Amino acid sequence: MRLCIVAAVCTHPLDLTKVRMQTIPSVPGQKRPSTVSVLRMTVAEQGFRSLYAGLTASLLRQMSYSLVRLGSYEEMKSRLSRDGPPSSGKLLLAAMAAGGLGGIAGNPADILLVRMTSDSIRPPDKRYNYSNAISGLVQLIRSEGARGLFRGLETNTVRAVLMNGSQVWSYDLFKSWFLRHQLPIVNFQFRDNLALHMVASTLAGTVATTVCSPADVLRSRLMSASGKSNPIEVLTTSLRGEGPRFLFKGWTPAFIRLGPNTIFMFVFLEQLKKGWRTLFPVN
């Protein structure tokens, strides 16, 4: 969990950039803002410190969403492995179920993260002005009630299911494939070591970013809204005004953020499991 928090601190500016790219509506005739242009504009207009707006919400998210989805998946995988190696289908279902649990647990923190990172680009009279995640949580409940904590829950849960299914499951899939096969052309055989963990996690991050992008964009737009809205309304309005390309807005900063995050996460988990097996060998 500590490593997830460190990774969140390092990659937070990219998370902020991704959310802003997702929530800024496209204007016909104008060039779509790039990752670099959004970063430059943020620093130029608000200073370097503004890149860390919403950091407390990001940390709260790691302590809820990430903890539940990874912990529950490892527990499910352990139970499935009691009678031998589980099939890829069973692991996929376990990863998706764990992702759904994580999405529900982390939904309030996700709302705060989206709102705090996109607040400065909203009109002054529509800003939330949360000073930190805890005060934001209190204000959210006061202004919208307990139901406000579940805004965008459907798309967030779908995104979490897709994320865990594509990221965690594909990591196990890539890892087992490389262990069974030699790399074509170079005729190289991986061993279960750091190099394999980094290659498999990089590929898993690429798959997860692409699979989750549409749900991620819809989630950001739903959570940043203050009035009543639903996924179908947001989807149809955005498709009509921006075309299907809007579903992949913010893909580049999302990948730059998720790639290293995925590598750190799986390398840490592999080392943790290796150390655990050394301390408590299975007879």
Q: Which residues of 141-179 are buried (b: 16+ CB within 10 A; e: fewer)?
A: eeeeeeeebebbbbbbbbbbbbbbbbbbbbbbbbbeebe
pLDDT class of 108 with cuts at 50, 70, 90: very high
Round to whole Å and give the CA distance between 39 and 9: 16
| Cβ–Cβ < 8 Å for 76, 98 | yes
Question: 109 pLDDT band (50/70/90 cuts)?
Answer: very high
Domains of the chain: 2-279 (1.50.40.10)
Note the pLDDT of residue 276. Answer: 64
pLDDT at 245: 85
Mean pLDDT over 215-230 rounds to 79
Q: pTM for this structure?
A: 0.75
**Amino acid 200: pLDDT:** 92
- Which of 45-49, 93-97, 179-183, 196-200 is predicted least confidently? 179-183
* CA pair distance 127, 130, nearest whole angstrom: 9
Query: What share of the chain in percent tops pLDDT 90?
Result: 30
Question: What's the rounded Cα separation, in Å, for the pair 224 and 117?
Answer: 10
Mean pLDDT of 96-118: 94
Q: Mean pLDDT: which of 185-194, 233-242, 273-282 is highest?
A: 233-242
Structure-block tokens of residue 277: 């097996």
Question: Percentage of the chain with pLDDT > 70?
Answer: 90
When mean pLDDT is compared over 6-15, 228-237, 240-249, the highest value belongs to 240-249
Q: What is the mean pLDDT of residues 90-116?
A: 94
Residue 215 has pLDDT above 60, yes or no: yes
Count the Cβ atoms, other than its own, within 10 Å of residue 7: 20
pLDDT band for position 58 (50/70/90)? very high
Q: What is the pLDDT of residue 281?
A: 66
Mean predicted lDDT score pLDDT of the chain = 85
Task: Name the range with the highest mean pLDDT among 9-23, 73-87, 129-143.
Answer: 129-143
- Condensed to tens digits (0 to 9), the pLDDT of residues 126-149 reads 899 999 999 999 999 999 999 999
Question: Does residue 226 carry a pLDDT above 80?
Answer: no
- On the question of pLDDT at 29 being above 80, the answer is no
